[in-house]
Amino acid sequence: MLAVIRIVLLGLFIVVGSTLLLLFCLFRPFHPNNTPFAAHWYGRMHRLLGVKLDIRIAPEVKAEGPYVYIANHQNSYDLFTLARAMPQNAVSIGKKSLKWIPFFGQLYSLAGNLLIDRNNKGRAHGTIEQAATAIRTKGLSILLFPEGTRNYGRGLLPFKTGAFRTAIRAGVDIVPICVSNLHQKIRLNRWDNGTVIIELLKPVRIADFGEDGVRELTAHCHQLMQHHIAKLDQELAQGTVAHG
């Protein structure tokens, strides 16, 4: 019964909330903080899922920017967990098919996020240049999922190089965002689904790798995030995290 109630409420929220957010975005279309505003609104629904969030941000992140943010992409619940930590003045890059999702897709586009055609390599390369230009000229940060797809509990998948090429092209550092394991953690028929830790690590300096160090930078960030996600999961398993 609890699961049914949650599904109905989430469905109503997506329809009503997205409609209201669409109206809001119409008054300031493509504003740099439309995406964080909408993301934080969606992220507040973690309470309805019975999840507590522990969001941690390295001091270095608050002092600088813009950045290319990279995050692990686990499942559809990212929309209600990771979204709560969306940095200000940031947009994301998603697949073009997202625009066909009723309500959410139109909001995603109007909020100023970038859409790419994954089946067209030429357009994908164009998107890297578009993202890099937005970073350089508008001071925007970009959030990317370097795995390229949801991992659904398979662990951190191999990274594609697009996010790292974008950072090098724009001349900005990379901030890894690590989210503790969500796979089979959220059960809609259970009141308390525990805590999810979201941590923004200190920036990875691209100057340490050089313009030709894309693959080395990619491998370094993958290893860094894989190690830190395991550390967060261990912290939760040991019960040492401060619930809040």
pLDDT tens-digit readout, 91-144 = 988 777 777 777 777 788 888 887 776 555 555 566 788 888 888 888 889 999
- In order, the DSSP letters of 163-196 are HHHHHHHHT--EEEEEE---TTT--TT-S---EE
pLDDT score at 124 = 57
What is the pairing mode between strands 195-200 and 174-179? antiparallel
Q: Which residues of the chain have pLDDT under 70?
A: 63, 117-126, 240-244
- In order, the DSSP letters of 144-164 are E-TTSS--TTS-SPPPPSHHH
* Among candidate residues 85, 65, 86, the one with its CA nearest the CA of residue 173: 65
Other beta carbons within 10 angstroms of residue 192's beta carbon come to 10
| 129 φ/ψ angles, rounded to the nearest 5 degrees | -65, -40
| 48 φ/ψ angles, rounded to the nearest 5 degrees | -65, -30
pLDDT score at 122 = 56
* Among candidate residues 110, 106, 104, 168, the one with its CA nearest the CA of residue 136: 168
pLDDT score at 46 = 92
pLDDT score at 244 = 46
Angle CA(223)–CA(227)–CA(232) in degrees, nearest 5? 145
pLDDT score at 119 = 59
| 240 φ/ψ angles, rounded to the nearest 5 degrees | -95, -5
Other beta carbons within 10 angstroms of residue 97's beta carbon come to 12
The side-by-side arrangement of strands in the sheet containing 52-57 is 52-57, 195-200, 174-179, 68-71, 141-144, 90-95, 114-116
* Among candidate residues 2, 163, 151, 138, the one with its CA nearest the CA of residue 82: 151
